[in-house]
Structure 1
Amino acid sequence: MKKLLLVLIGICFVCPSFAGTKCDRTPEGYETNCVHIPGWKDPDLTITEEDMKGMVYVTLAQERAFKKKQFEQALENEITARMYQDRVPTREQAIEDILAGVPRKVR
């Protein structure tokens, strides 16, 4: 536990030191010729407004509605399968079987 805490503290104090450091990259991916420039941000590591334009944000209400719609569609598919494949006479009987946990008949 102490090691984990030490690592987290180290990350908090070490990472900000790289902010504003501009480096050239070799073809192998190593950084060379690093220079500290105050206020400079690496475009590979910085999200801009232009990057955010295509992103879609989903609210909790939208996510709940989407999951509800998926559940209702899956329930309808299960009812239809029980009525036609298992020859359940009514929709209500199919729903009762689903709620009771009766497995579908395998043919």
Structure 2
Amino acid sequence: MTISFGAHCESYLKCDEDAEGHSINCVRVPGKDPSVTITEEDMKGMVYVSPEQKRKMDEKIFKEALENEITARMYQDRVATREEAIRDILSGVPRKVH
């Protein structure tokens, strides 16, 4: 039975480019390649949204848009009640143009 311990060494190749775009003067640099490593700073502002959260956000946006449409119909089109405005929206009646 053989037991071996290996050290994990991280490094990346850093190269310059000549006029034609070929890699020259390549050097192995210890550490992680910054061009392919995601840092905590990169993660700031990125938010995971679950399907349930997305559904709730879409529902909220829809409700706000519906309320705005009801309000517009009641005041601009002089519709007497919310129920009448909702009925017009659901039946596809376009808003009146003044």
Mapped to 2, the partners of 1:25 and 1:42 lie a distance apart of 17
TM-score by length of 1: 0.65
Q: 1:79 to 1:106 in 2, by over 3 A?
A: same
Which runs of 5 or more structure 1 residues have no equivalent in the other structure?
1-19
Cα deviation, 1:25-65, whole Å, max 9, x if unaligned, reads 68x9x554234x49854202321344324422111111111
Give the one of 83, 86, 91 matched to 1:92. 83
Q: 1:62 to 1:25 in 2, by over 3 A?
A: farther
Q: 1:55 to 1:103 in 2, by over 3 A?
A: same
2:69 is matched with which residue? Answer: 78
Q: 1:54 to 1:83 in 2, by over 3 A?
A: closer
Decide which structure has greater helix share.
Answer: 1
Give the one of 16, 24, 35 matched to 1:24. 16
Q: 1:73 to 1:44 in 2, by over 3 A?
A: same
Aligned AA (1:67): D
TM-score by length of 2: 0.70
Q: 1:57 to 1:89 in 2, by over 3 A?
A: same
State, as a whole percentage, how many aligned pairs show the same letter. 65
Aligned AA (1:66): M
Length, aligned pairs only? 86
RMSD of aligned Cα (Å):
2.7
Decide which structure has greater strand share.
Answer: 2
